Amino acid sequence: MSTSTADTTRLGAGRYIESARQPSETRTSVHELTTADGAKVTGVLRTVPGARTVVALMHPRQDLTHHVLVPELLARGFAVWTQGTRSVNNDLSLVHEQAVLDAAAGQVLLRDSDFDSVVTLGHSGGGALFAFYHEQAGLPPGQRLASTPAGRPVDLAGADLPVPDGAIFMAPHPGQGELLLRLIDPSVTDEDDPLSVDSTLNAFDPANGFVDPPAPSTYSPEFVDRYRAAQRARVERIDARARELVAETAEQRRLHKATGDAAHRRAALAPRILTVYRTDADLRFLDPTLSPNDRPYGSLFGRRPDLTDYGLVGFGRLATPDAWLSTWSGLSSNAGFVRCAPGVRVPTLFVELTGDQACFPEDAAAMVNALGADDVGHVRVEGTHFGGPIRDGAPTGASLAAAEIGGWLAERF
């Protein structure tokens, strides 16, 4: 793809790849939607003459208005809907059960528009979100979730959740919580001290197999097992703390209701915020022999996990207890891809990127095997998680994925 016909598109921290310009005949409209519970969300609809199928892109945390696949799909004759949740760029209060209601508002708009087919496309964290949406939309209303993992009521039963006609997943990771369960640094000994370290669990200690980058590290099977068990134990501890804070808030609400004392009301409203340090420490970022694929050394956030693990940027750094349990806990969240995948029963395409740093080969196999559709396609293309090229001079993963997606859509819709 020549630079004369391409734009530079940002997909994730530090990831810039080239994408085609959208066709000149593209018509664009912006829509403000009201969700079933009264929240406001926005979306952008782009269409081209003759488009009968619309592809919906969405992510729980990011604005996908300029996603690299938008012009690729338009150029192939498909309309594209990009939508945010009520928590775009805001990990602090991201509750996935509410994000399902946000997705539903967009699906209602598309169902009521003049399209023959609506297909969801979930990239990265959008994959688990749309798997969660498909699962809930496919259930009888009375069987849908009625509350978040923290106990907050959510009226999915009363919402209109149209079932889309197809589903595409591109480099979907296993879910925000499942992902964080692999990323969280288990060597933290004090949740209030970002520098606290248990040296026996420190991935960045040469005694445990670490080698200064860019040379690869090598970890023993015994260390890997202890490390992953300790990651789970740390998430269990944070879950317990989140539930304590939820209970404290509920007790203050109860006391206010019983006494009318404004002090209890203020206490119930006071934010309880979890600070979660060091969440960029998956051993696979450092040791390429673990879950081998074509990925480069480093994490989604940079080529030095030994440094970015200690930095500000990362998943789940700040979260309310409700958001932690709903989104960031791999033990409590409802939005795990494998848990939700049996509820995806429409024709499905799964696009695996061979250099993915978040969806590893065994993850992809488990996710594909869990899908509930009779018609499931699984293709592999060269590229990194955000759709970048696997090596200098190679085609971008996004362009290779777009070709596969375009062919699949044209065949079925």
Read off the tokens for 169.
């997943």
Read off the tokens for 215.
């040379």
Looking at residue 147, its amino acid is S
pLDDT above 90: residue 149: yes
Q: Which residues contact 143 (CB under 8 A, 6 or more apart)?
A: none
Residues of the chain with pLDDT > 70, as a percent, come to: 95
pLDDT digits (tens, 9 = 90+) for 223-259: 999 999 999 999 999 999 999 999 999 999 999 999 9
pLDDT digits (tens, 9 = 90+) for 70-108: 999 999 999 999 999 998 888 899 999 999 999 999 999
Residues of the chain with pLDDT > 90, as a percent, come to: 92
pLDDT digits (tens, 9 = 90+) for 152-199: 999 999 999 999 999 999 999 999 999 999 999 999 999 999 999 999
Give the number of other Cβ atoms within 10 Å of residue 368's Cβ: 16
* C-beta of residue 241 within 8 angstroms of C-beta of residue 152: no
Cis peptide before 153 (omega within 30 of 0): no
Read off the tokens for 143.
């069987």
Q: Full-prediction pTM beyond 0.85?
A: yes
**What integer pLDDT is reported at residue 18 of this predicted model?**
53
Give the number of other Cβ atoms within 10 Å of residue 284's Cβ: 20
Read off the tokens for 331.
């033990």
* Residues in a beta bridge with 380: 352
Span 3-175+333-412 CATH architecture: 3-Layer(aba) Sandwich (3.40)
pLDDT above 80: residue 118: yes
Ordered by start, the domain boundaries in the chain are 3-175+333-412, 182-324
Q: Could you write out the DSSP letters of every residue in 227-294?
A: HHHHHHHHHHHHHHHHHHHHHHHHHHHHHHHHH--HHHHHHHHS---EE-------GGGT-TTSS--S
**What integer pLDDT is reported at residue 19 of this predicted model?**
60
Spell out the SS3 assignment of 70-134: HHHHHHCCCEEEEECCCCCCCHHHCCHHHHHHHHHHHHHHHHCCCCCEEEEEEECHHHHHHHHHH
**What integer pLDDT is reported at residue 12 of this predicted model?**
39
Task: Please choose, from the candidates 293, 305, 292, 283, the residue with its C-alpha nearest in 3D space to the C-alpha of residue 221.
Answer: 283
pLDDT digits (tens, 9 = 90+) for 329-338: 999 999 999 9
Distance CA(371)–CA(388), nearest Å, equals 26
Give the number of other Cβ atoms within 10 Å of residue 12's Cβ: 17
pLDDT digits (tens, 9 = 90+) for 44-61: 999 999 999 999 999 999
- Where residue 3 falls among pLDDT bands split at 50, 70, 90? very low
Q: What are phi and psi of 349, to 5 degrees?
A: -120, 130
pLDDT above 80: residue 396: yes
Q: Which residues contact 189 (CB under 8 A, 6 or more apart)?
A: 196, 197, 198
